[in-house]
Amino acid sequence: MIAAFEGWNDACQAASNVVRYLVKHYESREIRHIDCDAFYDYQVSRPMLCHVSGRTNLIWPQTTFYEIVLDEGHRIFAQIAPEPNYRWKEYCSQSLAIAEELDVDGVITLGSMFSDCPHTRPLPISVSDGNCQCEGDREYNGPVGIPTVLDIFAAECGMFHASMWVSIPQYLGSDECAAGTMRLLDALGHRIGFSFDVSELERKAEQWKSQASVLVRCNEQLQDYVTHLEHDYDLKQKADAEASLGAPQAEQLVKEAEAFLRQMGS
């Protein structure tokens, strides 16, 4: 089961749009819901007014679970919701109880975050797989969102668990980022052994990149900033490549690159 939550964990909706994309492009159906009243502050996650066929309807924040059939050999479940405001422990327990009802053997949480990265390079993606955590996970201490809490609860229940986070350039604001959604779909496809049709997202990602480049060209300060980010990105990529080849002094190169990046970000 994959899980994505709107809000703090969902920069440019890159994570929640993974679920929306799958629901739209593959055979899917709603199979479960979690009642919203106990978990949301309606002054934060407000209900929406909707008029359909002359009738007025209120759409309340809620958690929806989907069954998604990718092909004959691949069937997944997806959970999507605004991040709850209250009772996270109870919420996660209910979520995992539904997962167990569906015979789910593992949970993959998705997230996206604003970060210092250039739009001209592949967006950084961090994957934490079960007990084997990525470098960022080992170093991070601080506030977490509901994806991290659900991931930890899944581990405590003995489920396979993984998390996937994509970084979004913070200088581009809050518009949707198809490039980030594509990166998460690519990581998810690699995990489950499936190649997603992302042709529609490819077009949107190119448009996003072109619009970002126009914005940068119109602002000299922003140009300098992006050039700086590109330099940092390329330096780290070079150090990682050296490390993967086992070249002499590779470990030192990686440490120097990471120390340099931390210093620039402080």
Mean pLDDT of 136-157: 83
Higher pLDDT, 260 or 67: 67
Q: Which residue reads 């997944």 in tokens?
A: 76
Q: What is the pTM of this model?
A: 0.84
Computed over every residue of the chain, the mean pLDDT equals 88
- Cα angle for residues 170, 172, 173 (degrees, 5° grid): 80
Q: Which amino acid would we find at residue 207?
A: Q
What pLDDT score was predicted for residue 136? 45
Q: What is the pLDDT of residues 166-220, one digit of tens each?
A: 999 999 877 899 999 999 999 999 999 999 999 999 999 999 999 999 999 999 9
Contact 149, 86 (CB under 8 A): no
> Which residues, listed in sequence order, are joined to residue 162 by a DSSP beta bridge?
108, 129
Q: Classify each residue of 15-48 as buried b or exposed e, where b means 16 or more C-beta atoms within 10 Å of its C-beta.
A: bbbbbebbbebbebeeebebebeebbeeeebeee
